[in-house]
Amino acid sequence: MKAPGYLSVVAVVAALALVPFVTSSNVILNFLVIALLIALVGQGWNVLGGYGGQYSFGHAAFFGTGAYTTAVLQVQYGINAWPGFAIGIAAGALVGAVIGFLSFRSGLKGSYFALVTLAFAEVLRIVASVAPITGAGVGTLIRLDVRFEAFQFQSRAIFYWIILALVALSLVIVRMIENSRFGARLVAVRENEDAARALGVDVMATKLGAMTISAAITAAGGCFYAQYYLFLDAGIAYGPWISVEALLAPIIGGVGTIYGPLLGALVVKTLGEAAKHVTGTAPGLDLIIYGAVLVLVVGFAPRGVAGLLERLWPRRSRAPARAEEGKSRD
Amino acid sequence: MTDKRNTFSRRNFLQTTAVGVAAAATGTIAMPAVLRAQGAGVKLGVLQPVTGALSYSGQQGKLGATIAIDEINAAGGIKGIGRIEPVLGDAQSTPDGGNAEVEKMNAAGVVAIVGGYASSICLATTQTAARYDLPYIVDVGVTDAIVTRGLKNTFRFGPGFGVISKSALDNLVAINDKAGKPAKTVMIVHEDSAFGSGLAKLLNAQLPERGFQILETIPHPTPTRDFNNVVLKIKAQNPDIVVPANYYNEYVLLARTMQQQRVRPKAIYSVLGGAASSYKFVKEFPEAAQYIMDCNHWFDPRNPKALELKKKVEAQGQFYTYEVFMNYSCVLLVADALARAGAADRAKLNAALESSTFTGHVMPYGPTKFVNGQNQGAAPANTQVLGNDIQVIFPETFASAKPVFPMPPA
């Protein structure tokens, strides 16, 4: 089987990689780092929610686990940040697999699944706010140590390229999923679980696989956050804010599309900054404008920015065709 | 509400803090150069959480800072430097929001940043500012980790946890001893971020050493909108003293819920109670606030400048809260250091702050003296709400009333 669609990934990533050569402004780079971080976390959500149809409201559980694992390993056990980063991703994936196993085995779907994921994230938040290992409510502070070995960099550009590399990796993973039988099964489960099961798809394994990959990608975002800000508390790591950001980006950008989370994150964050830009000193006015524009975007582009672009410039639509193809193969 | 009296215009603000997202899209970024071209004087970052869960405190902090800047400018600016141009930033009550603002302020070419307010915001923002050797004056953030990380750019004008909790406990013991030791048991209600939890940890370690038994420690998130269950727990345990450590809204809600449920311990003794020594709270809910004691940042009531500032703030229809006089003092501190540095230069300003012996502030701290970024003279005062006013009950050198303890029955 040929693996189409990687060229666009390369093009998008290459274009973004050039940004630090165009501007040395740390304001812009910091802004893009945050946008890409949200894109990464959103891509994690997209694998499960967009391709698998399992809407999670609790991706903070994975984000926080990744972040805390990286931070706690460094602060409490003196483990280097680089392996800490990898262990953080693995820990996030493990939490995803466990939560997935427990909820899918109980047959939780739709809003029940959303609620149970939210509950898991909240439980982890409360545990982290009292457990001594996470620094309880005081939080965990990673020592400022600007060295490559400590995964800390003076230049924002390096952080930018690292988060971009992670986003690129997530794009490749999603493209691989799209091109694979696993992806076809996942879409089949999303479209009609019973029909997929009747066709011989192992629904449990498919959903669990998606949940684990999704959690790993989101956890990578958490690990990055810990290294970038060097401070975590329970509200930051496991708070509902990141669960909301994780689903907002793909929903605005286009659920179940490879570039949805990236587009969504860039649009949402740019909107936020632009609103701040025009409102000046009036506190909160930017947030009101931001909210209003968000409502309009969702109202007039229900399929997200990606859907809107497709409607404006119709072109060959590969993804659904491939999904159909995949279904017939299974 | 505080914006009505801002003297700087929207245009001014935009020019100084312009993010330039649009500019990024066109790839024509040269922001620092563009901003430098805006004129002489010196830019000072005023970073506060003016939206989000901490918005009230953030707006009060901004008020204090801008009053100081207006006063300095009205007097012709800083000698040898010129006028101060404020660069306002909203941390949105989150560390990453604060961090993004520090980046913008740095790009805008500020000479220093004042503010931060919450401990978690200060931890993140001081670190980012340290990347640029950008002097950062923490207004309130009390976690001691803020000044123990060896950051050369970070100066905390106010006291930290260690000093505050020691002072609070010393005074509590003194008050209790004087009344014949009627109080033996304590319950702590604290918010669960760096500030409340850090304090609860210290109190849990130190209260038993001083002969108090801690019945329970109850954490809650910020924001919390219902304290009925917390107060029911307090009612069930019936402690002699309730120690709340939380931000303004939660503090008010807790005190009101205690009043509603008729829970009246021998004392409500807060350590850094968000509202316990707030004129707003006393005016709006005088009954709930009555007899509440607090160990908190407090202005020097002997200082005419402090009283003048109080009048000025109240004339604007605002409340004279600790955020106001702390930030006011911090801006004056920077202005003094700038005048001594003789240039709007970050390295020189860091050095000038390090050797600062500033006395022109409105706090009872004496001349400033920074050791590892911590102002050594900084100390809290104990207050009690008596009648419709807030009286200082400790330290005795400037106390205006004797503590009323135990609280008389309702």
User: In the prediction, which pLDDT does A83 show?
Assistant: 96
- Kindly determine whether residue A137 and residue B193, on different chains, have CB atoms separated by under 8 Å: yes
Provide, rounded to the nearest whole percent, the portion of chain B with pLDDT above 70: 90
User: In the prediction, which pLDDT does B20 show?
Assistant: 37
pLDDT above 70 (res B246): yes
| Cβ contacts of A25 on chain B, cutoff 8 Å | 20, 24, 29, 31-32, 107
User: pLDDT digit string (tens) for A268-300?
Assistant: 889 888 877 777 666 677 778 778 877 887 788
- Residue A316: C-alpha distances to residues A313, A319, A321 (Å): 10, 9, 10
Choose the mutation target among B2, B110, B120 for the interface with A, i.e. most A CBs under 10 Å. Answer: B120
**Partner residue opposite B127 with nearest CB, options A28, A230, A277:** A230
User: pLDDT digit string (tens) for A226-255?
Assistant: 999 998 988 899 998 899 999 989 988 999
pLDDT above 80 (res B274): no
| Cβ contacts of A274 on chain B, cutoff 8 Å | 21-22
User: In the prediction, which pLDDT does A325 show?
Assistant: 41
| Cβ contacts of A281 on chain B, cutoff 8 Å | 3, 6, 8, 10, 13, 88
Give the tokens for residue B273. 């109670």
pLDDT above 80 (res B316): yes
User: In the prediction, which pLDDT does A299 show?
Assistant: 81
Mean pLDDT of chain B: 87
User: pLDDT digit string (tens) for A127-178?
Assistant: 998 888 988 777 888 988 889 999 999 888 999 999 999 999 999 999 999 9
User: In the prediction, which pLDDT does B7 show?
Assistant: 42
User: In the prediction, which pLDDT does A3 show?
Assistant: 52
User: In the prediction, which pLDDT does A139 show?
Assistant: 84
Check: CB of residue B158 under 8 Å from CB of residue B378.
yes
Choose the mutation target among B10, B36, B96, B122 for the interface with A, i.e. most A CBs under 10 Å. Answer: B96
Report ipTM for this prediction.
0.79
- B2-158+302-375: what fold? Rossmann fold (3.40.50)
| Cβ contacts of B152 on chain A, cutoff 8 Å | none
Q: How far apart are CA B361 and CA B313, in angstroms?
A: 16
Q: How far apart are CA A203 and CA A66, in angstroms?
A: 27
**What residue ranges do the domains of chain B occupy?**
2-158+302-375, 162-296+381-398
Give the tokens for residue B401. 């009333």
**B residues 179-238 closer than 8 Å to A (CB):** 190-194, 196-198, 200-201, 219, 221
Q: pLDDT band for position A4 (50/70/90)?
A: low
- A6-329: what fold? ABC transporter involved in vitamin B12 uptake, BtuC (1.10.3470)
**Partner residue opposite B194 with nearest CB, options A22, A138, A282:** A138
User: In the prediction, which pLDDT does A328 show?
Assistant: 40
A155: contact with B, CB 8 A cutoff: no
User: In the prediction, which pLDDT does B80 show?
Assistant: 86
| Cβ contacts of A241 on chain B, cutoff 8 Å | 94
Q: How far apart are CA A285 and CA A281, in angstroms?
A: 9
Higher pLDDT, residue A113 or B30: A113
User: In the prediction, which pLDDT does A283 show?
Assistant: 67
Give the mean model confidence (pLDDT) for residues B122-130.
92
Give the mean model confidence (pLDDT) for residues B12-37.
37
Q: pLDDT band for position B3 (50/70/90)?
A: very low
User: pLDDT digit string (tens) for A12-55?
Assistant: 999 999 999 998 888 899 999 999 999 999 999 999 999 999 99
User: In the prediction, which pLDDT does A315 show?
Assistant: 64
User: pLDDT digit string (tens) for B336-394?
Assistant: 999 999 899 999 999 999 999 999 999 999 999 999 999 999 999 999 999 989 999 98
Global pTM reads 0.82
Q: Which residue of chain A is at minimal alpha-carbon distance from B143?
A: A138
User: In the prediction, which pLDDT does A321 show?
Assistant: 43
**What residue ranges do the domains of chain A occupy?**
6-329
Give the tokens for residue B142. 């009390």
User: In the prediction, which pLDDT does A324 show?
Assistant: 42
* Angle (nearest 5°) at CA A101 between A99 and A104: 100
**Partner residue opposite A28 with nearest CB, options B20, B51, B193:** B20
Domain B162-296+381-398 class?
Answer: alpha beta
- Kindly determine whether residue B29 and residue A130, on different chains, have CB atoms separated by under 8 Å: no
